[in-house]
Amino acid sequence: MATITIVAKHATRRSRLMKQNLKRLGVASLTVALLALFLSPFLQMLYTALSTTEKMTTLGAPSWPAEPATFVYQGQELEVYRVPTEDGLRNLAIVKKGRRESTFVDPANPQAGEFKWQGSWRALDRPWSFSPTWSNFSDVWEKIRFPRLFFNTLAIALLGMIGTLISCTLVAYGFSRFRIPGKDLLFTILISTIFLPTAVTIVPTYTFFTKIGWVGTWLPLIVPHYFANAYNVFLLRQYFMTIPREMDEAAMLDGAGPFHILLRIILPQALPVIVAVALFHLVFAWNDFFDPLIYLSTRPDLQPIAVALSSFNGIYSRRPPLIQAASLMTLIVPVILFFLAQRVFMQGVVVTGVEK
């Protein structure tokens, strides 16, 4: 009886382990499928960027970066096809195309000379070899003036980010920690500006910047961020309010002032949300198209990547590989920032020391 009980327990454990493994396998499979679905546009972009226009317009071309096989014969580059012969399928270079009869030469033995083959060469398949076209990226680097555009975009984004962090942090700190007459009403008015359409303010804003002579410079794209915005203020204020006030009071007993409390108590605790705000602004500035288009339309040398990429797409609309290569190059910085921000988020949660 004891032996039967032990065997039954082992069988039960095995069945439980099998069920757990099946569940894990199902979750892993679902995750991989969702990840593949999510990354499919990016993979399609990468595939196009590493291809050539000729390859994309060729019937029967494979779904991976490749180029058709060719053979140089008597100073002429010939196309290679898979031709059915008595010895099976052979890779032969076509010398003269015909409707019912074509002339071929064997690349493996060109000394044997040319020979005739009966059939339609259009029905033949071409052999392809894996050959990513890395030169597309170097072509974009030269044609689009990428180093200059990268500097313009990064400068606009970083300068605006500094203004956003300083102004929004100070405003959020005031709303979360100080007793101000009518504070709730002021905060409601601030939040209500989120619902104000951009189309309503674009004309008066452009007119104002024109009269003070800022059109054609970076100032309209940078200076407004030094006056805070409702969305980032809301995020920072809500996070600041989760930090216990007892820590502020303890610092005040030690003689710390409001500014010292902000620097020593609030900001270290709020590192995750500060990094999030910085990342949001960098991505916004990197992708911003409309504002740089209207304020820098007369200054191509100051335009960021988003505006220049639109012009580049119009010029090279018949060359999709170049367009996709340029798009991939513009994604490098946001993707790197995203992965770096993940570490900072985790570090900020660990350093916080207070359960949120």
Query: What letter does residue 213 receive in the DSSP assignment?
Result: T
Rounded distance between C-alpha atoms, residue 80 and residue 91, angstroms? 6
Third-level CATH fold of 144-352:
MetI-like fold (1.10.3720)
Q: So what's the pLDDT on residue 199?
A: 83
Beta strand 66-68 with 128-130 is antiparallel
Q: What are the domain boundaries of the chain?
A: 1-49, 70-126, 144-352
How many alpha carbons fall within 13 Å on the CB side of residue 85? 14
Give a three-class secondary structure readout of 135-194: HHHHHHHHHCCHHHHHHHHHHHHHHHHHHHHHHHHHHHHHHHHCCCCCHHHHHHHHHHHH
Token pair, residue 200, equals 């309503």
Token pair, residue 38, equals 């999510």
3-state helix, strand, coil in the chain (%, to 5): 65, 10, 20
Which mean pLDDT values do the consecutive 10-residue runs of the chain (356 residues) have?
A: 58 74 82 82 84 76 79 86 85 88 88 86 83 87 87 94 94 90 90 86 92 93 92 90 86 84 88 86 90 91 90 86 89 81 56 40
Strand ranges in the chain using DSSP code E only, listed in sequence order: 66-68, 70-73, 76-85, 88-96, 101-105, 114-118, 128-130
Q: So what's the pLDDT on residue 64?
A: 75
Cα–Cα nearest to 98, from 126, 114, 117: 117
